[in-house]
Amino acid sequence: MGGWYAEALEKRATAAAAAAADAAAAAAAAADAAAAAVSPDGRSNGGAAATAAAAAAAATPHALGVSDDLEINLKNSPNANSEMQQQQLQQQQQQQQQQQHEQQQLRQLHGRAVRDSRPKAAAAAAAAAAAAQWCPAAAAENGGSKNCCEANDAAAAAAAAAAAAAAAAPAAAAANGIEGKEDEIAAFEEKRCRLLRLHELCQGAVYTTSASVVFLVAACYMVSLSLAVLNSVPHENRFFANAVCICYMHALGDVPSPFFFGWLKDFLAPACAELGPDGKATAECLQQSNGLRLTLLCMYTPIVLMALSVLAAKSKGKAMLQQLQQQQQMQQQLQQQQQLLQRDLQQQQQLLQQRLHPGGTTTTQP
């Protein structure tokens, strides 16, 4: 049972890791879009800003929606009213609120950086346009001189680069802030996976324990019926009844059980019928390990339940024997009391006869 639950939880952990990877990719896309929100020529890119906002909005449910599943699982658990789980739920809600607040701050910072970068980019573009318009006119006035144009072009390019760097600085800071949250999101996802695994293991333990108790009660009932049948047979036929019970137990139990379990193993794990060339289990057999586990469970569960049922029947028989002994003791005490009462009655009769016939002989009744 532990192997089955471990494999199921491993699959769910893999799915959770894939979801975390998707969230990290979405956060990385948001960071790239935020870095590309301002183009290298100093102009604000509205489409990139919109892409960054959409990526951040897509990454937010992956990063912040994990506590909702945990809250649902904790509410559905049979011990959801315990103080420990309530504290865990409160901590998860506080972490969710903190994550939402931080994401809102990051979005506000990114929007502010984009808004601040737009005037600077517009000013740089206006300066570059003015320099570009002034350069041909100055060249015409100076008789086709190109030095002035080259100097103005260099100055305009330097101004545009400085403006672009100043405009991209807030966006880069926002992108770094988003990237810094990836580690926290990954740690939160790992903690959530551990809590979910613990919750599911506890549920599995409850289910398996309940099933074992039900099977144990049924086995005790059957053993009690068998003992009742044996005890209901007269004493002279007790050995014959015991022999019949042993025969049908062997005929229906340990004799056909090897054939049945062999067929069950071949049915559930057909690849494990033979060993590999190296004398070990093959890869196909290892993939069918669930069939071997189920076969072992079917083999050992009846044996354990039978042993426990025999012990329970013995304890019940001891209790019944003690009750029978107590009843016998009570009957003996009642008989003794009746004998004492009869003696007292005989003595009283003798006294009455002596008083009625003081000079005569008295006869006592047996």
CA–CA dist 244, 252 (Å, integer): 12
Sign of the torsion formed by the C-alpha atoms of 323, 328, 334 and 340:
negative
pLDDT surpassing 80 at residue 154: no
pLDDT tens per residue, range 204-229: 888 888 887 887 787 777 777 777 77
pTM over 0.85: no
CA–CA dist 226, 30 (Å, integer): 73
Q: Which residue has the higher pLDDT, 5 or 362?
A: 5
Range ranked top by mean pLDDT from 114-123, 126-135, 276-285: 276-285
pLDDT tens per residue, range 125-149: 555 555 555 555 444 444 444 444 5
Q: Which residue has the higher pLDDT, 218 or 163?
A: 218
Rg, C-alpha atoms of the chain: 45
List the domain boundaries for the chain: 2-211
- Please report, rounded to a whole number, the percentage of residues in the chain having pLDDT higher than 90: 4
DSSP symbol at 44: B
The region of weakest confidence among 94-98, 206-210, 235-239, 243-247 is 94-98
Beta bridge partners of residue 231, listed in sequence order: none
User: Which backbone phi and psi does 38 adopt, to 5 degrees?
Assistant: -115, 125
For residue 194, the model assigns a pLDDT of 81
For residue 31, the model assigns a pLDDT of 58
DSSP symbol at 38: B
Residues 171, 113 contacting (CB under 8 angstroms): yes
For residue 330, the model assigns a pLDDT of 93
The answer for residues whose C-beta is within 8 angstroms of residue 51's C-beta and 6 or more apart is 33
Cα dist from 281 to 126, 274, 275, 276, 277, whole Å = 76, 8, 5, 6, 9
CA–CA dist 188, 11 (Å, integer): 19
pLDDT tens per residue, range 49-70: 455 455 545 545 444 444 455 4
| Short-list 216, 242, 246, 215, CA closest to 231 | 242
CA–CA dist 77, 290 (Å, integer): 27
